[in-house]
Amino acid sequence: MTGSVLILGGYGNFGKRIAAALAGHRVPVILAGRSLANAEAQVRALDSLLAKAAAFDAREQLGAQLQALRPSVVVNTVGPFQTNDYSVAQACIALGVHYLDLADGRDFVTGIVALDEAAKRAGVSVISGASTVPGLSSAVIEYYADEFDEIDELVYGISPGQKAERGLATTQGILTYVGKRLRPFAGVKSPVYGWQDLYRQDYPDLGWRWMANCDIPDLDLLPPRCGIKSIRFSAGLELSLLHLGLWGLGWLARLGLPLDLPRHAGTMLKVSNLFNRFGSADGGMHMILRGRGHDGASHERRWFIVAKNGDGPQIPCVPAILIARALARGEEMARGAHPCVGLISLEDYARQLSGYRIAMQSL
């Protein structure tokens, strides 16, 4: 028997996509948020007998709602996780419910192991970072790892299309570290600051995009797991004006001006949307692995994923979809609390995305 999946933020940018995919896999879903009207509207849009709506404040009412709704799995899409605590995951553990989230906060994802013993005692899986990073990024490395005797460098990043749907929480999360000094990571020889160190990346079918430093859990997780000596992750906005404008704000924050950028995320997102007519709905991700092959010679692998027609937001949802489906169906999965590293294969990723205008390419 397949249990139900409660999606916190079920009518949001990622939640609604996860709900649609799970319902398509014949998994019952409960779309939850603070607005019953919005949740019910999204249920109607799904047009599935497997979907229903719920409205409550997860911070204050989750325990009671878990007992009333009795889901097998909770998927938490409500960020920004850079400023969240583990209260939602702890409530799930207390009631024996599996938990996973789409967190991209570096400390949040790496710190989830603090709940490991409690999760094991409860017999549940608690998985953080079930998203592009580290879910997809670790899948790509594991797929190509056999080509290398050692990996000296990983350079990678994400550049969404200007017209692709963007959530407020994602914007807030990025703004928490723009211009801030990042904690050191593998290969760092001098201070690194958020949304600084500009460079340009050429994408197949998309052309050149600006990139800048981002703070993600991979910086701590991937080097020790994969033997990577130097790692660098960046993100970029399609429109140069917006990307360089944020870079300039980063310099102001770096120079010590008391800017509370996350507080203005809503306004900045609205201003950004005014420029949609000048951009596209096409985005991509690149991963460049450099090192030595088994013959001792230098070896490089370049991997890209390009999404067209606004399908880019489907990519971060895949790990949560596949893991939630497996847990709801009672499939075997390691109990305890851990980041989403090595849990999804690149082949599984490709299959889940096969119905969208998304293509992977390796060079």
**The predicted structure's pLDDT at residue 83:** 82
- DSSP collapsed to 3 states, 80-127: CHHHCCCHHHHHHHHCCCEEEECCCCHHHHHHHHHHHHHHHHHCCEEE
Phi, psi (degrees; rounded to nearest 5) at 282: -110, 130
CATH number of 5-131+313-344: 3.40.50.720
The three-class DSSP label of residue 292 is strand
The average confidence (pLDDT) of the chain is 95
pLDDT band at 271, cuts 50/70/90? very high
| pLDDT, average across residues 261-275 | 93
- Read off the amino acid at residue 214: C
pLDDT tens track for 308-341: 999 999 999 999 999 999 999 999 899 999 999 9
pLDDT band at 1, cuts 50/70/90? low
| pLDDT, average across residues 64-70 | 95
pLDDT band at 149, cuts 50/70/90? very high
**The predicted structure's pLDDT at residue 168:** 85
| pLDDT, average across residues 32-45 | 96
Q: What is the pTM of this model?
A: 0.94
**The predicted structure's pLDDT at residue 249:** 95
| pLDDT, average across residues 348-358 | 96
First to last CA, the chain: 43
For the chain, the domains span: 5-131+313-344, 133-307
| pLDDT, average across residues 120-128 | 98
For residues 89 and 101, the answer to whether their CB atoms sit within 8 Å is yes
**The predicted structure's pLDDT at residue 147:** 97
322 burial level (CB within 10 Å; 0-12, 13-18, 19+): buried
**The predicted structure's pLDDT at residue 170:** 85
- DSSP 8-state code for residue 187: T
Closest CA to 137 of 45, 235, 203, 204: 235
- To which residue do tokens 């570290």 refer? 177
| pLDDT, average across residues 196-220 | 97
**The predicted structure's pLDDT at residue 241:** 97
133-307 adopts what CATH topology?
Dihydrodipicolinate Reductase; domain 2 (3.30.360)
**The predicted structure's pLDDT at residue 189:** 87
Give the C-alpha separation, 289 to 102, whole Å: 25
- Which of the listed ranges 44-48, 91-95, 260-264 does the model predict with the highest average pLDDT? 91-95
Give the strand pairing for 5-8 and 336-339: unpaired
**The predicted structure's pLDDT at residue 59:** 87
Phi, psi (degrees; rounded to nearest 5) at 130: -80, 70
Q: Please say if the pLDDT value at position 194 is more than 70.
A: yes
